[in-house]
A and B are shown apart, each in its own frame.
Chain A
Amino acid sequence: MDATRASLLVRIREASDGEAWGSFSRIYGPIIYQFGKRLGMQEADAADLVQDVLNEVNRSIGRFEYDPLIGRFRSWLFKIAHRAAIRMRKKEHRVHAAVLEPTARQLADEVVDPFDQESIWETEYQRELLAWAAERVRNQVSPRTWTAFWRTAAEGEKPQQVAAELGLSPGAVYVAKNRVTKRLAEKIREVDDTA
């Protein structure tokens, strides 16, 4: 697993590895997009943000030292996204060279506290990665297994009740729930170094 994960990051350093880039942007694009939206951006701006950040990653991935102990890829990516968001804001509000933007105060109020930004980032990151992984894992298991997992893990229903309704034994529901959870975790770990 570690190898896969590291290798995606390693592979995108090779500018020529288009496929790795494809998977990279498929995984991280939505995270950045949702992050932008949560910061209050319009769709188009959030899409621009995605572009900005991916470009920046492309430029500077060479400087990102992957170290399983220190290397928090997600924090590194956050810093890039955060700065790109600020740049965009400033540009957006910079009307004229000489004229201070009238909305500086509004902008300030509108800007999310960096601390909150980081927690937004964390939420979006987890959510999108989870969704990404779920999309893949879901196709690998039977619908009944997925439902058993879903209703117990996500909706918090009692395994006994779910088992009765799905015509499974409680043990099978426990196994389904934990199998899928484990797979999701593994899937996510393929691309994220902190999970």
Chain B
Amino acid sequence: MTQLSSCPDNDQLLLLLDEKLSGVSEIQLVQHLDHCLRCQSRLEALVNKSGREVIPAMSQSPSLPAIWHLAGNGHRSPSENGLPVRDENAFQQIENSFPGESTGLRLLERIGQGGMGVVLKAHDLALERPVAVKFISPQLAEDPAARQRFLREARAAAGITHSQVVTIHSVNDRQPFPFFTMEWIDGLPLNGWLDGNRLLETETLIDIGCQLARGLAAAHDGGVIHRDIKPENILLDSRSGQVKITDFGLARVMDEYRLTHTDVFLGSPGFQAPESLETVDSVDQRSDLFSLGCVLYFLCAKVPPFEHPSLIRSLQHAARGIYRPLREVAPRTPASLERVIVQLLRPDPKERFPDAREVERQLQSCLRSVIPPPVSPRPAQDSLSLKVRTRQGSRIDQRPNAWRWPAWGLLLVGALAPVFFLLGNLFAGGALAERQEASVNRDLPGQRRVEPVEDTRVQATAFSGKHKEMKRATRISKDPLMPFVLEVADQEPTGFRTLNGAIAAAGDGATIRVDSSERFEFYQPITVPHGIRLLAAESRRPIFDVYLAGNETEDEEDPDHEMEDDDNGDGEGLLAFLQLQGRTTIRGIDFQLHPVEEIECGLIQTDAPLVAEDCGFSVPSEGIALVSQSEVDLEFVGCRFQVPAGLAIGGEADQEGQATFRNCLIAGDVVLRLATESPFRVLMENCTCFSNRFAELFPGIDFEEEFLGEPFSGGTSFFQFDVQHSVLCTREGLLVLEADDGLFQRQHRRFLGWKGEGNLLVDPGVILWHEDGYEEMDEISWCQGLATWKKKFVEVDSLTDPAPFRESLESLYVKLENRQGLSGKALELKEELKSGAGFCPESTDRISSSVD
């Protein structure tokens, strides 16, 4: 057969690809392709022109799951439950050649397969217990060097005895497949476990980090480096809840095999230290620390920091330290933990922590900072890190980063209140505020008051007949130990030691004055069966710290239930601190909710009209409902809400309701969440609202349309929303109305009064979301001007967690910057934002004085 004298043209090549050439021509062409480099690449180019988009995975480094799938290794790609995909052939080979019970083992089931080995569950006949057996993979077994290395690494790893390391029982050099046995762990690899239980609490996560660091420290002490720390190699024992590291050193077997057999480096993208790209020997214990950092990042963010289908590319990113900031991906991550992870992920090993023990120490201190101690003794006053005095002293002294979470320096500047207050650090390591009133309660230096539980219960149950006696028995006036002063017309004020005591003694409409600026701790919900006025005494600023744990005792002896017999039991499902059953006024009190467990709880639940003036409501990031229940009239004046999950209003009442917000600051991922079955009206005047989540799921104001019932009488609107002179700063939009059936478009849109005079709406002011996509309406109109804005900045500084709201402001700046043709106030505002007003804590003084 003769060879082609010249290169074929494109048509010829295409015909070849489509198998349309005659046998002889095809053979000639193929022979030509054997050595014509130019035609080889032409052929590729021809196909790639059409196939580029189809098979991107193949033009670069392929993504592993796609490859598994493609290779026909099982129908579902790997790790349905975190276990590697199996190559049943490998199992078959191993099972067929297994010597049998002479080894003391009976093979039970196939578990999984990794790069270098195959794992089966087996029964240890002598000790009568399950064990895991790892065989070298048939492919590697053919290489004597790999076999030796496999056995050597297994023996080295067998020397590690630690509760966080999977124990190796025996190492067995059998032909054809050497194996070793390990303890059997009932559980799943971390990645598999995460698939099913997606939410890892921060504490759990840090605890896992500590355990891993301990396990690594033990291994490193014994001179063993893991080399391939990744979620697949970390087992979570479902019995003990402990994590155990497996496959110590075995990655090396694979590395060396690959280095000698192919020039392709393969490993676990996403978790490998950059130095592992160099030589096998450039890896040391700090490489494991890098991988540990990747695992921690993965646990927080659910994606590895360097996730690229190409291992090389991901290692390049690792080498340059290119990854998305953790708190951008997982905003819930505490800053202290992020700092540890950042240091672990340093490209230069010298900049990481020196050893695993140090990592554990660092993680332990993170752990301490995230667990709020509900009943721990307060630190002495000389550990103050934040000092604020009252206005006369007018000196605000803050740590530069005191506003950053979790150092919750909380400085509240009431929109109406003429006094600055400090709510101290909530954490054990933090400080207690120095207070003007400290002298009043000298007998309780640096301590919080705890609302005694027993006392609460007794008095609440004794309420019905005995309150007169109790009143007499506890009548003491002006005693700092009796800060709850009950005022009844024509009677001497009566002091009570506990709020519950005062409430129990009060009649309908009575006034209880809180004559203290203490922090009070509450551990039980309080039901107020009638109207009260709960007011802070003149120039007093009490703080109610509410710690609510599960209410498992609800069914028995719960007096609340007897009292609300005629109620329809709306409250089920919500454990609220104050359960209000009569018309209530609250003034000048700051409430802070600290759920003890992750339970559904809130601060206030009301079935009756409520007025709150100059109050602070703060719930932690776990996102617990703050105010809820019934379409009654709610009025908030000069209140500050820090409510990540927003204010929930809703219920099943059969009357029209209304919520009014005046001079309020509402900060949260959702501003308002409305689920009302009756017509409802929201009025907002002079308010500032920040929400910072993706609008699609967490709009500034969320309607749960499925709960909308009857329209207002004489109208077609279920819901009215009027905003006047307010700043509504939301990340992606104020309103998202999901209107599958066109409900909002047809009936609601025109009743939304949000375009009222004097509002500042951060664009895209409104997103209407309906069938055919998004409709954005850019609306910016202007409020009173910069004075207002400056005031808002100060308020932002007063939030427990201002960072997200600063981000809102920053994104506002970016939006303004990108907007063409800014003029007048908008331009001024942009300049103001640019010059940093409100962004740096140091400017607080300046701004606050200008507000005064």
Residues of A whose CB lies within 8 Å of any CB of B are 34, 37, 40, 42, 60, 63, 79, 86-87, 89-90, 94-111, 113-114, 123, 126-127, 129-131, 133-134, 138, 150, 153-157, 159, 169-172, 174-175, 178-179, 181-182, 184-186, 188-189, 194-195
Binding site secondary structure of chain A? helix
**A96, B572: Cα distance in complex, Å:** 9
**A182, B17: Cα distance in complex, Å:** 8
Other-chain residue from A34, A102, A174, A185 in contact with B51 (beta carbon distance below 8 A): A185
Residues from chain A with a CB closer than 8 A to the CB of B669 are: 104-105, 108
Other-chain residue from A87, A97, A123, A178 in contact with B707 (beta carbon distance below 8 A): A97
Task: Check A109/B332 contact, CB under 8 A, given A97-B651, A130-B57, A178-B46.
Answer: yes
16 contacts between A and B (CB under 8 A): A79-B773, A90-B697, A95-B600, A97-B675, A99-B602, A101-B645, A102-B624, A104-B646, A105-B623, A130-B66, A130-B70, A154-B58, A171-B35, A178-B46, A178-B47, A189-B54
Whether A98 contacts B645 by the Cβ 8 Å rule is no
**A63, B48: Cα distance in complex, Å:** 33
Other-chain residue from A86, A99, A172 in contact with B697 (beta carbon distance below 8 A): A86
Whether A181 contacts B70 by the Cβ 8 Å rule is no
CB-based nearest A residue for B598:
A102
Whether B697 contacts A107 by the Cβ 8 Å rule is yes
Whether B623 contacts A175 by the Cβ 8 Å rule is no
Whether A130 contacts B55 by the Cβ 8 Å rule is yes
**A155, B261: Cα distance in complex, Å:** 14
**A138, B587: Cα distance in complex, Å:** 75
**A178, B49: Cα distance in complex, Å:** 11
Most buried by B among A101, A105, A126: A105
Residues from chain B with a CB closer than 8 A to the CB of A114 are: 694, 696
Whether a CB of chain A sits under 8 angstroms from the CB of B565 is no
Whether a CB of chain A sits under 8 angstroms from the CB of B454 is no
**A130, B59: Cα distance in complex, Å:** 13
**A94, B600: Cα distance in complex, Å:** 12
Task: Check A172/B30 contact, CB under 8 A, given A98-B628, A130-B66, A181-B47.
Answer: yes
Other-chain residue from B628, B646, B698 in contact with A99 (beta carbon distance below 8 A): B628
CB-based nearest B residue for A113:
B694
Residues of B whose CB lies within 8 Å of any CB of A are 16-19, 29-35, 40, 43-44, 46-48, 50-51, 53-58, 61-63, 65-67, 69-72, 77, 195-196, 198-199, 262, 264, 302, 330-332, 570, 572-574, 598-602, 621-626, 628-630, 644-652, 669-670, 673, 675, 677, 693-694, 696-698, 704, 707, 738, 771-773
Residues from chain B with a CB closer than 8 A to the CB of A34 are: 77
For the complex of A and B, the 7 pairs showing the least CB-CB separation, nearest first, are A105-B623, A171-B33, A100-B648, A185-B51, A104-B645, A171-B34, A100-B625
Whether A104 contacts B574 by the Cβ 8 Å rule is no
**A179, B720: Cα distance in complex, Å:** 64
Residues from chain A with a CB closer than 8 A to the CB of B65 are: 127
**A102, B573: Cα distance in complex, Å:** 10
Q: For the complex formed, measure the closest distance between the CB of A100 and the CB atoms of chain B, giving whole angstroms.
A: 3
**A160, B694: Cα distance in complex, Å:** 52
CB-based nearest B residue for A131:
B69
Whether B623 contacts A153 by the Cβ 8 Å rule is no
Residues from chain B with a CB closer than 8 A to the CB of A37 are: 195
CB-based nearest A residue for B68:
A131
Q: For the complex formed, measure the closest distance between the CB of B234 and the CB atoms of chain A, giving whole angstroms.
A: 19
Whether B17 contacts A178 by the Cβ 8 Å rule is yes
Residues from chain A with a CB closer than 8 A to the CB of B63 are: 123, 127
Q: For the complex formed, measure the closest distance between the CB of B5 and the CB atoms of chain A, giving whole angstroms.
A: 16
Q: For the complex formed, measure the closest distance between the CB of A167 and the CB atoms of chain B, giving whole angstroms.
A: 14
Whether A98 contacts B43 by the Cβ 8 Å rule is no
**A193, B724: Cα distance in complex, Å:** 49
**A53, B736: Cα distance in complex, Å:** 21
Task: Check A154/B40 contact, CB under 8 A, given A98-B650, A105-B621, A106-B199.
Answer: no
Q: For the complex formed, measure the closest distance between the CB of B443 and the CB atoms of chain A, giving whole angstroms.
A: 38
Residues from chain B with a CB closer than 8 A to the CB of A194 are: 53
CB-based nearest A residue for B595:
A102
**A106, B18: Cα distance in complex, Å:** 54
Residues from chain A with a CB closer than 8 A to the CB of B18 are: 182
Task: Check A104/B698 contact, CB under 8 A, given A79-B773, A181-B58, A184-B55.
Answer: yes
Given A97-B704, A100-B626: 8 more A-B contacts, CB < 8 Å: A97-B650, A108-B669, A108-B697, A113-B694, A134-B70, A159-B40, A182-B17, A189-B54
